[in-house]
Amino acid sequence: MRGQTWKTKAKFLFVLAIGLGVAACANNLPVDSKFPPVSFADHKPYVFNVARVEIVPKFTSSSTSPHIEYSMPVSPENAFKRWVEDRIKPVGTTGVLRVVINDASATDTPIQRDPDASQLFNTEQTSRIDMALNVSLQVLDERQFVKAEVTGQATRNRTLPEGIKLNERDKILYEMTVDLVKSLSDQLDPQISSTLMPYMTVQ
C-alpha cells in the first residue's frame, strides 16, 4: 500500500512539473507574437447626457474574396467599436446616442503581373489592401427622432510585395486598422465638440 501511495504521489508531481513547464514556456513567448489590444483610453472620453449608446452596423462583412475582415488581427468594425467603448460614455436617464456603421470594409485584391515590366525591380507588388470606415453619430430623443448628427469617413490603402510572410502581413493589417480609426477620430473630434456639445455634460 505504501509503495502504491508513493508511486501515486510521484506520478502527480511529475504531471504537475510538466504543467508548470508548459506554462513557463507560454509565458516566455516573444511579445511580438501577439498584437496589443486596440485601445483609445488615452484620449479623454465624451460624456453624453443620454441613457445608452446603441451601435447599428449597416455594413455586412463578407467571408468571400476579396474581403478579409474575418481573417484580420482586428477588423475595422471591431476597432471602431472599441473607439466607441473607450470614448463615448452615457450618464443620462433618457435619450440615445446611436452609432451607425455604414462601411467598415477591408479587401485584398490581387494585382495582375505585367509581363513587360522591367526586371530591374527586385520585388513585385502582388496585392492591394483597401480599408474604409464611414460612420454617423446621432443623438436621438425619446421618440427616436434625430436631434443632432455628425459623420466621418476615412480610407487607407497600400500594396503588399510578393513573398511577404503571414506575420508581416498581419502586422501591416493591424497597423493600417489602428491608423484608419485614428484618422476617423480626427474627423469626428471637432464635430462632436461643436455639434454635439449641447448634449454632453462636464464631469
The residue ranges of the chain whose pLDDT is under 70 are 1-33, 114-122, 203
Vertex 25: Cα angle to 24 and 30 (nearest 5): 115
> What is the pLDDT at residue 175?
97
> What is the pLDDT at residue 110?
94
CA–CA distance, 75 with 103 (Å, rounded to integer): 12
> What is the pLDDT at residue 121?
54
pTM above 0.85, yes or no: no
- Contact 149/198 with Cβ under 8 angstroms? no
C-alpha cell belonging to residue 203: 464631469
Length of the chain: 203
> What is the pLDDT at residue 62?
87
CA–CA distance, 19 with 91 (Å, rounded to integer): 46
> What is the pLDDT at residue 73?
95
Q: pLDDT tens digits, residue range 135-170?
A: 999 999 888 999 999 999 999 999 999 989 999 999
- Contact 136/149 with Cβ under 8 angstroms? yes
Question: Residue 82 to residues 30, 35, 103, 147, 186: CA-CA distances in angstroms?
Answer: 25, 15, 16, 25, 16
